[in-house]
Chain A
């Protein structure tokens, strides 16, 4: 388990935290790694705080319990920072990536967290490219830029492929999402 990367996603039902976790696992597996993605066991309710998890490893992943000590946390909705302990279990050298217009420094004070803080306006990027506040795919771009856990080009290709299956009659959705990932990759700041 030592080389397993554990990730926790915080979002609100409908924002796509679970889908983002599935896309990360899918991309990890497509790049030759072994991975898990799972929601906080349950049906997502629109607007309710939800969690999703990833494990990525070079070896077989056998555990089937919730992630306790993630090394990476992603927050899809910054209002959750006030209501949920997004830092729970995150070690001091861990990484948190927040969807916000604010600069990382503002969150460093607010969270009192010494580790890596990244921010990206994933909602703004999603609205511009997809026309909807669906910050989950841009967060993929931010995640890969901030942590380097996946090969960027391969992740882009796999995500586009996965979206092609889901939206085969809506090519504009695929293009928008790919552009959103690219923008977030460029814009995420530390």
Chain B
């Protein structure tokens, strides 16, 4: 529930891309290096107008590829700068080589990223294949349901990434076109409030500090690589508490609390859909309609996919009767989607657990509407009442 807040926020009409660029303006990073790609182009484009108009003090680096964009961010972050970039799909995949390096060097780069299908076939519309492709790169991954969350998440990501216990890069995603190009009503913090919330950044080290020379990115062989990976692994575990704490503080100050998960009408739920991003909003309307009919339906939105909220998910879902995990990508493991397999593994050691099915949906921007989501809840209702599980992994809205 939104709490009373004294901070006067500006109500504005913004698209997802505009909202993320607005957050970047308030963050005023030292360095932004970016390369354009649909549907994320506008983020850096709008931000570059802030640079041109002198509204930020950022060094804007226009590079020749996404590989270079993230490399420039890594270089400047290693020099102690607060660095940001933005991309989508093929651009993210071109950054893929550099992403684990940014994480291993513990550089808190924050990247707005617009979820888009990966080629091929070539497609510019929304699905989560690009972000899931980079899920094991050591980056924090935060999914946004709408433009308000896109804005709030970018601000929070800076705090989370730069936290002393975390020091990891973070991706904040929106769904391509569905959110990136959709204008919605959002509340924007006053500039001074946003700046105060993220605070000043003090890097742990700088390659440009000539008085304290250091070596960054040196080779590690069999005797040290493992020990150098462990702190990063631990940082992702630590990040869960930090994400919760930052989300709680954001809620206390500005009336919009955040957690690793969002539970919608889950308290007495028997069935639930688990999903990420914009689909969660549509599903909430379906849940309300089902509740009006007396069905005990709920929704579990996974806001943070990396680190994966194993404990929280198990706690919420263990007591349910039937659950459908909706994946907007297929992991191409010959089985199901990445969210599904991880939710299943989160529940494996629970004594009590629900029946779980998986739906791959919305690939390449295929619309997911109220009827489709209703059909999923209808199936859960029949599974709950004893019908056979049937096909465990199915494809929602595809012509098979």
Contact between A and B in the complex (any CB pair below 8 Å): yes
**Chain A interface residues (CB < 8 Å from chain B):** 1, 18, 21-22, 25-26, 29-30, 34-39, 41-43, 61-66, 68
**Bound-complex Cα distance A34 to B12 (A):** 10
Chain A residues with Cβ below 8 Å from B12 are 29
Proximity string of chain B (358-370) to chain A, C-beta cutoff 8 Å, 1 when within and 0 when not: 0000000101111
CB-based contact A65/B370 at 8 Å: yes
19 residue pairs bridging A and B, Cβ less than 8 Å apart: A1-B285, A21-B183, A22-B15, A29-B11, A29-B13, A35-B185, A36-B183, A38-B182, A38-B183, A41-B125, A41-B178, A41-B181, A63-B281, A64-B175, A64-B179, A65-B369, A65-B370, A66-B367, A66-B369
Cβ of A64: which chain B residues have Cβ within 8 Å of it?
146, 175, 178-179, 182, 278-279, 281-282
Give every chain B residue within 8 A of A34 (Cβ-Cβ). 185
Q: Is B184 part of the contact surface with A, judged by Cβ < 8 Å?
A: yes
Pairwise interchain contact B368-A65, C-beta atoms closer than 8 A:
yes
Q: A38-B177, A62-B282 are in contact. Are A43 and B369 (CB under 8 A)?
A: no
A42 touches B125 (CB 8 A): yes
Greatest chain A CB density within 10 A among B124, B181, B370 is at B181
Bound-state Cα–Cα, A119 to B268, Å: 52
Instruction: Write the residues of chain B forming the contact surface with A, with a CB cutoff of 8 angstroms.
Output: 11-13, 15, 38, 124-126, 146, 175-179, 181-185, 278-279, 281-282, 284-285, 365, 367-370
Structural contact, A22 and B183, CB atoms closer than 8 A: yes
A21 to B181, CA, bound (A): 11
- In the complex the two chains form, what is the Cα distance from A38 to B15 in whole Å? 9
With contacts A62-B281, A62-B282 taken as known, whether A37 is within 8 angstroms of B182 at the C-beta atoms is yes
B368 contact set on A, CB distance < 8 A = 65
A38 pairs with B181, CB closer than 8 A: yes
Q: In the bound complex, what is the Cα–Cα distance between A21 and B183 (angstroms)? A: 9
Taking CB atoms, residues of chain B closer than 8 Å to A37 are 13, 182-183
**Known contacts A30-B13, A41-B367, then 14 further A-B pairs from the complex at CB < 8 Å, ordered by chain A residue:** A22-B13, A22-B15, A22-B183, A26-B183, A29-B12, A35-B183, A35-B184, A35-B185, A36-B184, A38-B181, A41-B126, A61-B184, A65-B282, A65-B368
CA distance A89 to B182 in the complex (A): 21
| Smallest CB gap from A27: residue in B | B13
Task: Give Cα A92 to B282, complex, Å.
Answer: 26
Query: For A61, what are the chain B residues with a Cβ–Cβ distance below 8 Å?
Result: 184-185
Q: Which of B13, B146, B177, B179 contacts A39 (CB 8 A)?
A: B177
Q: How far is the CB of A109 from chain B (nearest CB, A)?
A: 33
Please name all residues of chain B whose beta carbon is closer than 8 Å to the beta carbon of A29 when the two chains form the complex: 11-13, 185
Q: What's the minimum C-beta distance from A177 to chain B, rounded to whole angstroms?
A: 18
Q: Which one of A39, A42, A63 lies within 8 Å of B282 (CB-CB)?
A: A63
- Smallest CB separation, B9 vs chain A (Å): 13
Q: Name the A residues within 8 Å of B175 (CB-CB).
A: 64
Please judge, given known A-B contacts A29-B12, A64-B182, whether A42 and B177 are in contact too, CB under 8 Å.
Answer: yes
Name which residue of chain A comes closest to B126, CB basis: A41
CA distance A63 to B283 in the complex (A): 7
CB distance from B99 to the nearest CB of A (A): 27
Question: In the complex, what distance in Å separates the CA atom of A39 from the CA atom of B278?
Answer: 15
Q: Are A26 and B13 in contact (CB under 8 A)?
A: yes
Bound-state CA distance A29–B183 (Å) is: 10
Which 3 residue pairs across A and B have the least CB separation, nearest first?
A38-B182, A62-B281, A41-B177
CB proximity of B370 to chain A, nearest CB, Å: 7
Q: A61 to B15, alpha carbons, bound, how many Å?
A: 14
Partner among A1, A25, A43, A65 whose Cβ is within 8 Å of the Cβ of B183: A25
Whether A65 contacts B13 in the complex (CB less than 8 A), given A34-B185, A38-B177, A41-B181, comes out as no
Q: Are B124 and A43 closer than 8 Å at their CB atoms?
A: yes
Pairwise interchain contact B182-A36, C-beta atoms closer than 8 A: yes
* Most chain A beta-carbon neighbours within 10 Å: one of B15, B178, B185, B284: B185
Please, which residue of chain B has its CB at the minimum distance from the CB of A158? Answer: B13
> Are the C-beta atoms of A62 and B284 separated by less than 8 Å?
yes
The closest CB in chain B to the CB of A35 belongs to: B185
CA distance A1 to B184 in the complex (A): 16
Min Cβ gap A16→B in Å is: 14
Give Cα A22 to B182, complex, Å.
8
Report Cα–Cα, A43/B284, bound state, in Å: 28
Least CB distance from A160 to B in Å reads 15
List A contacts of B285 (CB < 8 A): 1, 62-63
